[in-house]
Amino acid sequence: MADNAKQTSADDFTPIAGADRAKLDDEKIATPSLTFLQDSWRRLRKNKAAMIALVILIILFILAFFSFLFETHNPNATNPNFANLPPKIPGIDINGFNGTIDQSGQRVNAYAQAHAGNHFYILGTDYLGRDLFSRILYGTRISLEIALIASFFDLAFGVVYGITSGWIGGRVDTLMQRIIEIMLSIPNLVVMVLLILVLKPGMTAIILSIAITSWINMARLVRAQTLELKNQEFILAARTLGESSWKIAFKHLLPNLSSVIIINLMFTIPTAIFFEAFLSYIGIGISAPQASLGTLINDGQKNFQFLPYQMWYPAIVLSVLMIAFNILGDGLRDALDPKSRE
C-alpha cells in the first residue's frame, strides 16, 4: 500500500491566483459579533408591540416629569366659576373637544355660559374648576414615582436578600425563607392600614408599605436562580481559583441573573402603580389637594352619568401605563431569553 501511494512534490502545489482568492472570500459567511446586550436589543427591536410600549412609556415619563413645560394651569388652583367645564382645544370644532355640552338636545357653549372668556381647558375641569389635564400629568408623575420607588426596593433589598439566601444556604437560607413566608402571610392592605394608624394617609405611608412588601417576590425568584447557578462549572472554577464568596456572588452570579431581575422588575412596576391607585381610590392613599390617578378616578365616577370624561381620561392613562409596562415586560422576557425563537 505504501509503495503504491502517490508521491507528492512541491510542484504539485500552486498558489491561488488573486481572482480565485477573491471568489473564496466572497463565499465566506461573516456575521458581526454581538454581545449579549446587543443581541437582546436586536431581538427587542423586532418586537413591534414592545417597541410601541417603550415609546409610549418614554412619552409618559417626559410628560409627567417635565409637566411644568406642558401644564396650561396650576393643577391645584381652584376656580368654582369654571367648574365642570367640558374639554376645549382651540381650532378643533368636534363635539367633545370644542367646549360645548348637550342640554335638552341642543349643543350649548359651556365656556360662554361660565364667562370663561379666552380660557380653555384641554381635558376640561373638575367639580372645583381645576384643570383636569394638569392634574392627570401630576397624578401620572405620582404613579411613576411609586414605580421607581418599588424598583429601588426590588433591587436594593430583593436582589441582595435573594442572592444572600441562595448563596449561603443551610440554616441561614431556611431562616431567611421562614421570614419571607411570614411576611407573605400578611396582606399588603393590612400593612397599609396599620401604617395609617401611625402615619397620615399619603406618600410616606405608601412608600413604607411598598418598602415592607414589594421586594419579597423578587427575593424568592433570585434565590431560586442562585441555587441553580451556584453549582455550575464557571462558579466552581471561580472557587477553585480562590475568589471570595461575595466576589463570586456579585461578579459572576449577578450578571447571569440580570435578565431574570429585569423581567421581574417590569412586572413589579404595574403592580405597584395599581396598588397606589387603588389605595388613593378608596381614600387611604394620596390625600387632597394632591392629585393621583386613583383620586381622579374616584372624583370622576361621582359625576360619571353626566360628565363621563372626568373619569374616562385618568382611567385611560392608568390603563395605558399598566398595559405598556406589561407588554414591555413580555418583550424583554423574549429578548433576554436565548432559548426563545425569533
Residue-wise pLDDT for 163-193, tens only, equals 888 888 889 999 999 999 988 888 888 888 8
Residue 169 lies in a domain: yes
Residues 146 and 112 in one domain: no
Residue 160 lies in a domain: yes
pLDDT of residue 118: 80
Taking CA atoms, 33 is separated from 25, 45, 287, in Å, by 18, 18, 54
Residues 109 and 132 in one domain: no
Q: What sign results for the dihedral spanned by CA atoms 243, 244, 249, 250?
A: negative
* C-alpha span between 63 and 295 (Å, rounded): 19
Residues 105 and 217 in one domain: no
Contact by Cβ (8 Å): 96, 87: yes
Taking residue 312's Cβ as centre, other Cβ atoms within 10 Å add up to 14
* C-alpha span between 261 and 161 (Å, rounded): 13
**pTM for the predicted model, two decimal places:** 0.80
**Residue 226, helix vs strand vs coil:** helix
pLDDT of residue 31: 57
Question: In total, how many domains does the chain have?
Answer: 2
pLDDT of residue 100: 83
Residue 79 lies in a domain: no
pLDDT of residue 316: 93
* C-alpha span between 226 and 162 (Å, rounded): 8
pLDDT of residue 236: 82
Low-confidence stretches of the chain (pLDDT < 70) are 1-34, 36, 337-342
Question: Phi and psi dihedrals of 294, rounded to 5?
Answer: -65, -45
Residues 292 and 201 in one domain: yes
Range of the domain at 137: 57-74+128-336
Query: Can you give the CATH number for the domain in which 327 is found?
Result: 1.10.3720.10
Residues 258 and 138 in one domain: yes
Cell numbers for 251, please give them.
461578579
